[in-house]
Amino acid sequence: PTVCRVPPTSPSAPEVQVLHASSCTASSGDSVELLCLVTGFSPAQIELEWLVDGMRGLVVASNTPVVREGSTYSFSSRLNVSKEDWKEGKSYTCRVKHPGTSTVVEDHARECWL
């Protein structure tokens, strides 16, 4: 019999990007939505946390399930922050730990100042 083995995929560290609606344009509501996109990682296990001005545990986000895209995975997390906190210039950091590559990757967002 012929045995076909698929070589395991090499571990790949995630890329992290925080996106937000421009605070320089008019937006409705009393909150600003931040989106943390985590892409290109393998294996699938990651740990994500949001920090406010470098402090942990101050906010609760909604997360999507990990999605397989070919040989890597993607994940996203949404965070709504009050316009008041956003306009105070607080920094919001999305920190991702990826045990498969022993890496920690982060990106942050804050209101732009004109």
Looking up residue 36, the CATH number of its domain turns out to be 2.60.40.10
- Sequence-separated (6 or more) residues with CB below 8 Å from residue 3: none
Residue of higher predicted confidence among 7 and 36 = 36
**70-112 residue pLDDT tens:** 999 999 999 999 999 999 999 999 999 999 999 999 999 998 7
Reported confidence tier of residue 30, pLDDT bands at 50, 70, 90 = confident
For residue 70, tell me if it sits in a domain: yes
- Total number of domains in the chain: 1
For residue 10, tell me if it sits in a domain: no
For residue 42, tell me if it sits in a domain: yes
Give the range of the structural domain holding residue 49, as residue numbers without chain letter. 15-20+32-109
Q: Is 34 helix (H, G, I), strand (E, B) or coil?
A: strand
For residue 6, tell me if it sits in a domain: no
Which of 11, 49, 34, 10 has the alpha carbon at shortest distance from 85?
34
pLDDT at 2: 61
pLDDT at 114: 54
pLDDT at 42: 96
For residue 1, tell me if it sits in a domain: no
For residue 62, tell me if it sits in a domain: yes
